Amino acid sequence: MLRHSTPTLSARTIHSMKPVAMLLGFSMAFSGLTSAQSPTDVSAVPAADKQVYGEYPIAYKEIITRWLATKLVDPPSAAVEWGEAPKPGEYQTQKRDTFVGYVVDFKVNARNQFGGPTGKQKYRVVIRNGDVIWGGHPRR
């Protein structure tokens, strides 16, 4: 009669394997966090024709913050809710002017001239080669 025996592990072997198993578990759990790309990561930059759209605005938040400082009544009070990273595109105004570059949508809540909050206002800007070439409230 053949007996199939299962190998048994000693308590010492199991105890020495616990750190390895924990390390493997943590590395699998956090592997998604380390592979995520930040918006400023060069490899996350969308491929677009520089001749058409200009340079990708890696520092788009700083560019927009400087632009907002020239537009808002109380720039230090501005709370910006950032949308998606810049995307190559164009925006056409009601006057049929077309602006081509990297389009960014975001919301701003700042104080008005009376010191009261404006509420979240939608904004859109078109950035080309590090400058905001058009900015304002987007058409619906």
What confidence score (pLDDT) does residue 27 get?
A: 43
Residues 6+ apart with CB under 8 A from 84: 104, 105
In a domain, 20, yes or no: no
In degrees to the nearest 10, what's the CA dihedral of 74, 78, 83, 86?
Answer: 50
Which pLDDT does position 33 carry in this prediction? 34
The answer to whether the predicted template modeling score (pTM) of the entire model surpasses 0.75 is: no
Beta strands in the chain (DSSP E): 79-82, 87-92, 98-109, 121-128, 131-136
Counted domains in the chain: 1
Report the amino acid identity of residue 109.
N
Contact at 8 Å (CB) between 110 and 117?
yes
Question: Per the domain annotation, does 5 fall within a domain?
Answer: no
- Asked if residue 91 is part of any domain, the answer here is yes
**In a domain? residue 27:** no
Burial of residue 60 (number of CB atoms within 10 Å: 0-12, 13-18, 19+): buried
Residues 84, 106: Cα–Cα separation, whole Å = 8
Mean pLDDT per 10-residue section of the chain, whose length is 140 residues: 52 51 43 37 66 97 98 97 97 95 98 96 97 92
Q: Which domain holds residue 56?
A: 46-136
Residue-level pLDDT at 38? 38
The per-residue pLDDT for 47 is: 74
Residue 126 lies in a domain: yes
Whether 53 maps to a domain, the answer reads: yes
On whether residue 69 sits in a domain, the answer given is yes
The DSSP call for residue 108 is: E
What pLDDT, on a 0 to 100 scale, did the predictor assign at position 10? 54
**Residue 33, both tokens:** 């966090």
